[in-house]
Amino acid sequence: MRETTKPRLVLASGSPRRQQLLQGLGLDVIIHPSGADEDVDGTPAPAEYVTLLARRKAERVAAVYRDQAAQDGTRYVVLGADTTVVIDGMMLGKPTNEAHARELLQRLEGRRHTVFTGVCVVDAVSGELKTGFSATDVWMRPLTREQIDRYIASGEPMDKAGAYAIQGLGATLVRRIEGDYFTVVGLPLGLVADYLEDFGLRIL
């Protein structure tokens, strides 16, 4: 169905945690943040929202590597991802400032929320793609104002959906999860592995 030449993987994200997860699987990854617009018309459901943005990011970067492939003959496969946190039917993005981070954490503390991560893999030359998502429930433990303030002071919440990072200090905020841990980190590795294999990048 495809050429036998092993493709190069391009990550359409500047996220260090996504990069580390892929490198932990032994993959050689080209990092190329998409810079894609994250505004979406209407009020899509969370699963639709994250898959739409993952596809937008992947296709934007794939357009760059389509030209590159014509020059160097290399096959490029582009991976895009997007994560959002949902509570009370509302999607929580990244905090805009410390006050916003505090507001998000106060909403989440002591309660259950759901993390959605969408994934899109695109063949840069053919345009063939696959999209999907994973969802995981997270229960955050009750937190005092002082604990929230100390966490914000660490700087960790500022570029994270929902204002916390489960793979960092934010692990201490979480009581339990139900589902895939890596979805909460920002890249559901089982789903990604299945998709990459379909595009000629076998991990196992």
Strand partners, 90: 87
The pLDDT of 75-104, averaged and rounded, is: 96
Residues designated as active site: 82
Six-digit token string for 203:
């991990």
Quick one: CATH architecture of 8-198?
Answer: Alpha-Beta Complex (3.90)
Q: Which residues contact 117 (CB under 8 A, 6 or more apart)?
A: 50, 81, 82, 83, 133, 134, 135, 183, 184, 186, 187, 188
Q: For residue 1, give the 3-state DSSP assignment.
A: coil
- Tokens 């969802």 identify what position? 135
Q: What is the mean pLDDT of residues 87-104?
A: 95
pLDDT band of residue 37 (cuts 50, 70, 90) is: confident
HSE toward the beta carbon, residue 112, CA cutoff 13 A = 7
Write out pLDDT tens, residues 47-72: 999 999 999 999 999 999 998 888 88
Q: Of the candidates 129, 111, 4, which has an alpha carbon nearest to the alpha carbon of residue 60?
A: 129
CA distance 166 to 137: 12
Residue 168 CA to chain centroid, in angstroms?
A: 16
pLDDT at 38 over 90: no
Condensed to tens digits (0 to 9), the pLDDT of residues 149-172 reads 999 999 999 989 999 999 999 999
Helix (H, G, I), strand (E, B) or coil at 118: strand
pTM, two decimals, is 0.92
